[in-house]
Structure formats: C-alpha cells, structure tokens
Amino acid sequence: MNGLRDKVVLETDGKLMCGRDVAVAVLLGAEEFGFATAPLVAMGCVMMRVCNLDTCPVGVATQNPELRKRFIGKPEHVVNFMKFIAEDLRGYMAQLGFRTVDEMIGHTECLHKKEYPADSPLARIDLTSMLAKEVEEDSYAKKNIFDFKLSQTKDMKLFDDACQNALQLQKPWHVSLEVNNRDRAFGTLLGSRITRTYPHGMPDDRFVIDCHGNGGQSFGAFIPKGLTLNLKGDANDYFGKGLSGGILALKTDDGSQLKADSNIVVGNVALYGATSGEAYINGVAGERFCVRNSGAQAVCEGCGDHGLEYMTGGTVLVLGETGRNFAAGMSGGIAYVYDPSNVLYKRLNAALVQMEYADSKHDQDMIKTMLENHVRRTCSQLAQNLLAHYEEEKDHFKVIIPTGYRDMIRLIKQNEEKGMTADEAQLEAFYTMKEAH
Amino acid sequence: MGKTTGFLEYKRQDNRELPEKERIRNYHEFHQPLSQEERQEQAARCMNCGVPYCQWGKPIGRMVAGCPLNNLVPEFNDALYRSNRKQALERLLLTNNFPEFTSRVCPALCEKACTCGLNDEPVATKDNEYDIIESAFANGEMKPVKITGRSDKNVVVVGSGPSGLACADQLNKRGHHVTVMEKSDRFGGLLMYGIPNMKLEKEVVNRRIDLMEKEGVQFLSSSPIETKAQADALKKKFDAVVLCCGSQKPRSLAVEGIESEGIHFAVDFLTASTMSQLDHCEPAFSAKHAHVVIVGGGDTGNDCVGTCIRQGCTDVVQLEMMPEPPLERRENNPWPEWPLVKKTDYGQKEAIAVFGHDPRIYETSIAQIYSEKGRITAVDIVKVKMVRSEDGRMTMQQVEGTIEHLPCDLLLIAAGFLGCSDTVVKAFSLKTVRGNAEADNFHIEGNLFTAGDMHRGQSLVVHAIAEGRKCAEEVDRYLTKY
C-alpha cells in the first residue's frame, strides 16, 4: 500500500446505533467512532427534524424557554446508552475472540458478504475491494506520530527563570528577540501558559515581547489578555489568528524604504476568528482581513479583497482603500473606513450591511481613540497626519454596520433601559426581531 | 408544512358531545363538529414531524403504535390547515378506503403515538379525518369513480365487514369484477350489527355500500355459505374467493347455568337492538326494566352499557377480570407505545350520569348463576387475581370470601372471540391456527384467500381495512401474475 495507514487515525460515523455497527466499523478499519443520533435520542430527541425552526417540542434544539422546560434528558442517559453500546460490542468481540478493540481493527476476514438471490440487485454489489486486506497488520497498532518538535520552538526558549518568576509573581516582564518566518505560531505556547495560570487573563501589557524580523505563519495566534507582541518587520498569513485578548502591534522596519500605507505588510486572513483583544497594523493587510472576527478591535492602513467577511462582532478601522467584496456576509460588528476618494461604495458587498457617514459623536470618539492607540502602538505616520488634520479629515470616515445587528443593538439597549438584565434584554430582543421577520 | 408554532398556540378541542342525559333518549350519533375556523386550528396543531409515529403502524412489544393503514396524517392535517380540502381528501383516501368508518369507531392509534401527545394533548386527528370525509360527502365530492380497463377476472368476497369491503373496493378499483356475499339481510358485518347506531349511524354504512354498488361491485345479501357443495361451487365459478368471515365464535363462561334464558352474547344483543331500530319493531330481547350484568370490560362491553341504558335498564354493572389500569401511562409503557390507561368511554359516562356511579367493577368475575324456571334471576360475583401456576402459566384464581350477590335479569357476555365460525371452517375445509384461518400471506390454497379478523383474530376496524387492502394486493398478484 501507500504507507500512509500508520500516519492517520480513522474515525467513522453515520448511524452507529448498536454494538454490532461499531464491531463492523472496527473490522473495516475504524479506530474512532462518532455517535450523534442515538445519544440524542437517549436524552429525549424524537427526530422531529425542526432543529432549524426553534420549535423543538422536546426542548433539545430550541431557545424558547417554554419548550426548554420540556427537556428531560440527563447526562446519565447518554452514559447509560454508551455503556450498552460497549457491552453489546464486547459480546461481538467475545464471539470473534478479540480481547481489545485495538487488536480487532481491520480484520476484514471476519466479515462476510450476505448472500442474496441471483436476481436481487443486491447480489451485484461487489465488496471485494472493501473487504480486501492489504494493510500490514501492525500498521494499526504502531502509530507513526508526527513530531512537531515543539520543544525546539522559540516559545519554549522563552521559558527561562525570569519568565517563570514573572508568571508566578504576576510581575511585568519584557524581552526582545529576533524572529523569522520559520517560527510558526510564535507566542501561542507562552499564551497558553498564561491562560492556564490565569484563566481570566492579566492586565494589558503585563508581559511584552518586542520582536524583530519576519513573523511566521500564525504569529501571535490565540494569545490572551496580558500578553503584548510588538513586531517590527512584517508577518505571514494568519497573523493574530483566534486572538483571545492579547495585543498585537506590527510596524514597518525602521530601515524600510517602503511607504507603510501603500504596501502589504501582513499576509492573508489576519485575525481570522479573533474573539477579543487588539491589533494595530502599520501597513496594508492582505485578503480576508478579520474574517470571522467576533470581538477584536483592529486597525490597518488598507486591506485586500473580502475584508471583514462573515464578521460577527468587534470593531475595525481601515485607514486606506479596501479590496473588492468588502463586508460580505458580515452580520455583526462595526467597521470604520477612511474613504477620502469615495470609492468604498464600489467595493462594498451591501447584502447585509449599510454604509453611512461616521458623523455621530459615538463614531467620531471611537475613530479618534483608535487612531490615537494606533499612533501609540505603531507610530503610524498616516494616523499622525489624520489626527493632526482631524477637523478636515473627519468627514471622510464611513461607518459600515449590518442592518440586523444595528436593530438588535438598539432593541437590547431599549430593553436594558426598561430595567431588564443583560440576558433578559437580549432574549426579549431576539423574540421581537423574530416576530418582525 | 402546517403552522410551525400551532401546537404552542392552540389547545386541543375535541368534537363536542351532547349531554349524556339528552343523548340517551335516542340511538343517534351525538358528536357535534367544530366550526371551520376551529377545525383549521386543530389541524394547525400538527407538527409535521420528521419521524411521524402517527403513520408508522408497527408493533412495539405486542401492541401496534401508529396507524395500521399508514394514513398520511401530517399531510392531510397540513392540507386541512391550508383549507385545501381537495388535497386533504385525496391524501386521506390514498391509504384509507373508508375514513367515514374509522373516523367514528377507531380508537385512534395515530393520536396515541402523536409527538404532540408526548408533552401535551395529541392532535385531534380522528376528528380532523371525520371533518375531511364528511364535508366531502356533504359537498357531493364522493362521486362513484368510473372504473376503466376492466379485467376478465371474477372475484367473490365472502363477508361484507370492513375487511371484505376494503378488499372488494381495492379489487374493483383494480378492474376485476367483484361480488360480495353476505349471510345477513344487511351489509356491513360488524359495522352494521356489531357497532351500535350511536357510534356509527347505519346510514353511513349504506351510503358506502351504495357508492360501491355504483362503482360496479355486486352485493348479494342473505347468502350464507354453509355446505361443502356451496363452497366448491364458489371456488369453481370464481377466479378467486376471499373469505372475510370474521372471528365469530364468542368466548363463553365456564359457569354452571350458562344455558339459562336471559344470558346472551354481546354481539347477539347488539344485533337484536340494531335490527329492531332498522326494522322499526321491538327487539327479540332487551334490557328494558332489567338488572343487567355485562361480563367484559372492553369496547363491546361499553357498547352494551350504552345500548342497555337507551333500552331503559334498571341498572347495569360491567365486570372486568383485569385490575383497574392507571390514569396516566406507567413508566414501562412510554410514548409512543399504545397507552395502557383507563379510558371512560361514552357508555360508561352515560351510566355515571344516569346511575351516579361507574358501572365497572375490576378484578371480578361470575362465580355462580341463579335461575328460576330456567330463567336467570341473580349472579354471585367474586374477586379474581392472576396467579402464576406451577408450569409457569398465568391463571385466574378466585379470592375466597369476596362473593357478592347481585340481582340479574340479563347477563351479557362480551368476553371476546375465539376464532372463525365452525360452519365456514367445515365448508371450506380450512386449517386453523389458534382458531384463525391458516394462510401464507393471505393465501390459503388454490384460489382461496382470507383476510380480516378471520385471518388475524378479533381486532380493530382499522386493522380489518388494512388486512383487506393487503389481501387484495395478493389476490391481484395471483390473478394478473404480476
């Protein structure tokens, strides 16, 4: 065969309902098993197929509090079900003479095709290749596990005594180092240490790393609140992926002859799926900037095609031209764009969003704060100029907000003013919107 | 699909009943249909389930859950909700030959398995069905269907009960020439004489027979098949013979004095009552001014209670051997299983209204019959309990010291049936299994087929129709060879 079998773990799913199903799957080579329907039924699902309608009559798939009262499932029901599956499987294993699931994997010789009369269409099904046994038997047992060489990453080298000490005593800690584009996901392991020690994060800028060079893929991915990465240079794709509270600041190298606001300094899909935190990019971002962002604040000086795609939350300030299809599928969050030559309307995908002048006080305050932060973090020349001539420039900012999101925010605010708690206000707004549609 | 939130917005509303004391003055049906708006709301309660147990019709344990005819319940409910009555009727008639019967007498297996009934009251499917078919009749939409493409095959169906009629209807619509033979003077079998008029007006049965006649089915009344010669002649004359003779042998009681006058089987009593109403004469025997004891707590027993009250009985008790069932489902009897719960039917409700108490006495049987000059005067009733005997079988045992004496002028036995009548078995030389005609997928042998209670044993009208339809399919395959 192709020598790949020991490099993968095969999972199977699809109507696994009883021990026999699992036994057949194991014999065909599966090593892990996905169950969905049967455990759902064990906790009360009656297969109404209305999960999309918010009318689940047994309270499984619904937001309606009245219907959720009907939910009678307990974790024990699912545990019980899985016990029965295991017990059932053991019966088949005993009959076949296997002691463990591992030793049973891939024994297709235990499976036989059912006999059908010659005129039945089922008789024509040829299972030979499915039941063929061409994989080395021990290739299931021994797994050739890929070595990610995590111990040799730059992150691990950061964990010196000073770092440990700072982490333990919650003391500010600051280092400088060189990075290059082989350092993938720089900062992520350190971030995970911080999160594990302080699940609720630390004050901003408690731990600061100044980097110099070319950031590799996923630079600063998932970093938590309290960690700040300042990068002088540029970065590859996935910059700040899944940003979870940390702060990223990227500025062009001091020696660079390129003009920051007209050159791409960070690769595609920067801040993909970010949930919180801040990012300041002193330069133009690549394509799909902030795709699926749900809560982070970001500033950049221009972006490529499909910017802010599927964004559901957060605030983004773009100080330069955007690419095509801007804000496609954007259902939440707010974007401010500096658009002095009035070209944004041509680039915007207006299916879900609405473009207006950012002339409200709230918008102006927000833009100003973000500009100031941008200057503070990256010394951006462009941002400095805009602040210097703010009164002339302020009319060139546009605000882009999804219409549904705007209505929702308004309703929640109204409800909160009526004295509801945040949860109640949101739920009430949800039903008001639902009624309206 | 229907209104997605209908089940949350509307409560179940059954067809209203006339007050008990009013309706017992005659033998007419006593349900009053809802208005069109109300009906639409009831249809809107249907949830159009992804897995509609209402139309499933498969056994869970020993009891069937959902409609044995696989009626397309969510479809016709939806059409009704959208006021598309034409479509509702079409979808209803697709699986059910006689909705006007089932919507009156069926215990509504669909509703017991309805998902809406899991946490709330089930959808009023039976009443919805009634509405669809009755408005179709009222609006003249139930016109005879012109059968095109007649075959050259002749089929005779012996017995005109629900299975016989369903089988005949199916075969006729398939193009075969069908003759239905009935031993009684009127057609319908148990639909005519077994079910009292207040549950199923006899006009409704006749209306269907007329329709089928206009569609080309030949009906012969008062034509019993009693001898081997008659049976052989039938088998020779027709390309196929379908026996739908029911499960007519009633279970009796093993008590001394059972042959006394004033002791009758329930079906005989109900037959005499209905016959007298139709012929406008006094019944052969009646419950008028009588102390009535009914043995059997099932639907037939209840029909007897209702009939006795209408005939003017002095009092009535209904004896049931089994313990009183719970009012709610037991934990080991969950939805969508058939619920083994106490149901107080129309007759019992009437008895409560007239006599002030439930006529049913549970875990009780007859211990002794007293008679004078060959006529029953009183009975002793006794508590019984189920005991596991040494060979592991459950048997009924009387509990000592629990005997009670009751005056009794009329003892009605509604204790079920044992199988098909000996006359038919003999005439057609049938083999029987537990009293029912033995057949391989409805096929007895040669050109002889069987369906209905005769084949599966005493059961519901809806099962009989399902049997008749499936048997018709087999007969058709036998006749056409494809």
| Structure confidence at residue A135 as a pLDDT band (50, 70, 90) | low
**Same CATH fold assignment for domains B6-138 and B252-415:** no
DSSP H helices in A320-419 = 344-347, 361-378, 381-388, 390-393, 403-417
Contact between chains at A58 and B5 (C-beta distance less than 8 A): no
Q: How far is the C-alpha of A226 from the C-alpha of A245, rounded, in Å? A: 7
Maximum Cα interatomic distance, chain B, rounded to a whole number of Å: 70
Question: Do residue B119 and residue A70 have CB atoms under 8 angstroms apart?
Answer: yes
The C-alpha atoms of residue B154 and residue B152 are separated, in whole angstroms, by: 7
Contact A55 B51 (CB under 8 A): no
CA distance A359 to A342: 16
- The per-residue pLDDT for range A150-167, each reduced to its tens digit, is 888 999 988 888 888 998
**Cβ-defined contact of B47 to A67 (cutoff 8 Å):** no
A293-297, A432-436, B400-404: which is most confident: A293-297
A48 touches chain B (CB under 8 A): yes
Residue whose C-alpha is closest to residue B425's, from B434, B414, B436: B436
For chain A, the structural domain boundaries read: 5-141, 151-436
Domain B6-138: what homologous superfamily?
A: Alpha-helical ferredoxin (1.10.1060.10)
Tokens of A346: 């041509």
| C-alpha–C-alpha distance, residues B273 and B163, integer Å | 23
Confidence tier at A136 by pLDDT (50, 70, 90):
low
Q: Span A23-36, mean pLDDT?
A: 94
Per-residue pLDDT averaged across A356-377, rounded? 95
Chunked in runs of 10, what are the mean pLDDT values of chain B (482 residues)? 86 96 96 94 94 94 93 96 95 97 96 94 97 96 94 97 98 97 97 96 97 97 95 96 96 92 96 96 94 95 97 96 94 93 96 96 95 95 89 86 95 95 95 94 96 95 97 97 84
pLDDT at A138: 65
Q: Give B51 to chain A, closest Cα distance, Å.
A: 6
Order of strands, sheet of B154-158, starting from the edge strand that comes earlier in the sequence: B218-220, B177-181, B154-158, B240-243, B448-450, B443-445
Residues from chain B that touch A70, judged by Cβ atoms under 8 A, are 119
- The pLDDT confidence band at residue A149, using thresholds 50, 70 and 90, is confident
Count, in order, helices (H) and strands (E) of chain B. Answer: 18, 23
The beta-strand segments (E) located in B79-223 are 154-158, 177-181, 218-220
- Residue B8 is which amino acid? L
Chain A residues within 8 A of B50 when measuring between CB atoms: 47-50
User: Is the pLDDT at A137 greater than 80, yes or no?
Assistant: no
DSSP secondary structure letter of residue B242: E
User: What is the structure's pLDDT at B358?
Assistant: 96
Nearest CA in chain B to A70: B119
CB A338 within 8 A of CB A399: no
CB contact burial A97-118 (16+ within 10 A = b; e otherwise):
ebeebeebbbbbebeeeeeeee
3-state secondary structure of B39: helix
A46 and B4: CB-CB below 8 Å?
no
- The CATH classification of domain B252-415, taken from the options 1.10.760.10, 3.50.50.60, 3.30.70.270, 1.20.1250.20: 3.50.50.60
Tokens of A250: 């990227």
| CB-based contact A55 B4, cutoff 8 Å | yes
pLDDT at residue B343, rounded to an integer: 94
Q: Which CATH superfamily is domain A151-436 in?
A: Glutamate synthase, alpha subunit, C-terminal domain (2.160.20.60)
A47 touching B (Cβ < 8 Å): yes
Neighbouring-strand partners of residue B242: B157, B449
A6-28 mean pLDDT: 93
Name the residue facing B50 among A47, A58, A70 (closest C-beta).
A47
Model confidence, pTM: 0.77
Task: Compute the distance between CA of residue B347 and CA of residue B313 in angstroms, rounded to an integer.
Answer: 13
**pLDDT value of position B390:** 82
In chain B, what residues touch A57 (CB-CB under 8 Å)? 7, 47, 115-116, 118-119
Has residue A273 got a pLDDT over 80?
yes
The predicted structure's pLDDT at residue B62: 84
pLDDT of residue B394: 83
CATH number of B154-248+418-480: 3.50.50.60
How many contacts does A have with B, using Cβ atoms within 8 A? 35
- What is the ipTM, given to two decimal places? 0.80
Question: Which residue from B minimizes the CA distance to A53?
Answer: B4
Work out the pLDDT band at A100, boundaries 50, 70, 90: very high
Q: How far apart are CA B169 and CA B175, in angstroms?
A: 10
pLDDT of residue B2: 72
What is the pLDDT of chain A when averaged over all its residues? Answer: 93
Q: Tell me whether residues A48 and B7 touch, CB distance under 8 A.
A: no
pLDDT digits 0-9 by tens, A190-221: 999 999 999 988 999 999 999 999 999 999 99
Cα(B96)–Cα(B76) distance, integer angstroms? 12
Where are the domains positioned within chain B?
6-138, 154-248+418-480, 252-415
User: Is residue B190 a contact partner of residue B161, using CB atoms and an 8 Å limit?
Assistant: yes
Neighboring chain A residues of B4 at a CB cutoff of 8 Å: 50, 53, 55
* pLDDT one-digit tens code per residue, A219-255: 999 999 999 999 999 999 999 999 999 999 999 988 8
Of A47, A55, A70, nearest to B5 by CB-CB distance is: A55
Taking the Cβ of residue A67 and every Cβ of chain B, the question of whether any pair is shorter than 8 Å is answered with yes
Q: Do B4 and A53 touch (CB under 8 A)?
A: yes
**How far away is chain B from the Cα of A206, in angstroms, using its nearest Cα?**
53
